[in-house]
A and B are shown apart, each in its own frame.
Chain A
Amino acid sequence: MTGLTLDIEQARALNRVVTDLLVQAEASVVLLTDIGGNVLAQAPQRNDPHLQTMAALAAGAFSATRELARLTGETAFRSVSHEGEQTSLFVQSLNEDFLLVIVFQRTTTLGLVKLYGRQAATDLAPMLGEVRHQAPVSSAFGPFTLDETSAAVFDLPAPGSLRGRAVRPPLRTG
């Protein structure tokens, strides 16, 4: 099964749209994800592991509402919003397979978020269509090679032996 591939140009173009949306809607986080919870673009640009979890949960929640739509005879709910005391979440579907996840505070409004969300959706639609239908494989990206120095993908201590103690990191990260 072939997966999704973003080349550098595409990744940056998506990030620009998402960043504009963050600024215009005065949101605190904007994620562009696929329905499986992969993050294609995000704003702000920071390395926050929680964003991956947020994407997985938002995608899961949206899939669940899609099932609810099916059960209620509706063809599709286009968006869902969760309103909290301080922080709210707005999720909008794009092209069936992608989601815009927008986190915002009380300093902005759902109306504004929806307005700019819709505009971003229009901008993103053709870009995502291209991503979905013609996964780029350029020879510039050479073949992938495995790091042969590690015998296992994840190098873990034998059960019970080193539990609770600091263990050698399995693979050099970053």
Chain B
Amino acid sequence: MSFVNFDKKEINFKVVYYGPPMGGKTSNLAYLHDVMPAEVRGDLTMLSTQQDRTLYFDFLPLQSTVIKGFISRFQLYTVPGQPIYDRTRRIVLTGADGIVFVADSQWSQMTSNADSLENLKANLVSHGRSFDTTPLVFQLNKRDLPDIAPAPYMEFLLNRGATKADCVEATAVKGNGVAETLNRICKMVLAQFIEEHNMKVSVVRRAESA
């Protein structure tokens, strides 16, 4: 849920990386942390098991001056993909302004992708949110592996919402597609925020001038 502080001239947005277990959510944040200049990113915090599986969430704050006169902070979170951590996923999803769904392109993971997407929809509904109006980008990850499904097949399988989401092919461990995914979701989040806010401003202005 966006948060605007007019005193400090700051706006916070929350972007959640969701998806099947081992799909590469943490790898996305790790890569971004590696390549982002220090003045743009904060620390990467990972709450994981000894086997590097996400236990609660990962957190990486980034900042940008994309909105004139303000510092825009994009707070990136990942959820744990393992089915048993559903309660945790639901908590981390709270107040998300945008979602990146990191799908695993391997043929063997297609059911796992579909299950995770269903789980995302259910958890959005549990927060009173609608899947179709929440900014979303699909990342088709692990394109470097041999036994992978063609991108159009995965799009057909996953991207069936009323409004079609962007799909980005990626190899998160090498960084391919990671920045593009981030930029696309940030732009969608910004577009929705600006539209909502500016609409309210124009209503207030009309009321004031009447």
Contacts and interface: CB of A to CB of B under 8 A. Distances in A.
Query: Real complex partners, A and B?
Result: yes
Of A5, A6, A64, A170, most buried by chain B (CB within 10 Å of CB) is A170
Interface in A118-164: 137-139, 141-147, 150, 152-154, 156-157, 159-160, 162-163
Nearest to B209: A139
Interface in B159-210: 174-176, 178-179, 182-183, 186-187, 190, 193-194, 196-198, 200-202, 204-205, 208
B1 A1 contact: yes
A159 B67 CA distance: 26
Given A67-B87, A147-B68, A2 B196 contact: yes
Nearest to B171: A159
Interface residues of B, number: 67
A169 B59 contact: no
A60 B56 contact: yes
Given A11-B8, A64-B91, A170 B37 contact: yes
B179 A3 contact: no
Interface of B is mostly: mixed
A38 B183 contact: no
Interface string A15-27: 1000000000000
Nearest to A52: B61
Given A11-B8, A36-B1, A145-B68, A169 B39 contact: yes
B53 interface: no
Contacts of A52: 42, 61, 73, 75
Contacts of B182: 153-154
B200 A137 contact: yes
Contacts of A80: none
B65 interface: yes
A76 B23 CA distance: 35
Nearest to A137: B200
- Secondary structure at the A interface, as helix, strand, loop or mixed, is loop
A169 B41 CA distance: 11
A163 B175 CA distance: 10
B6 A156 contact: no
Contacts of B94: 35-36, 63
13 contacts: A5-B6, A12-B7, A52-B61, A56-B59, A60-B57, A64-B91, A139-B208, A143-B197, A147-B66, A153-B190, A154-B179, A154-B186, A166-B37
Given A11-B7, A171-B40, 15 more contacts: A3-B97, A36-B95, A50-B42, A53-B42, A138-B204, A139-B201, A139-B205, A154-B64, A159-B175, A160-B174, A162-B35, A163-B175, A169-B40, A170-B36, A174-B71
* 6 closest residue pairs by CB, A with B: A3-B2, A159-B175, A11-B7, A156-B179, A153-B186, A38-B3
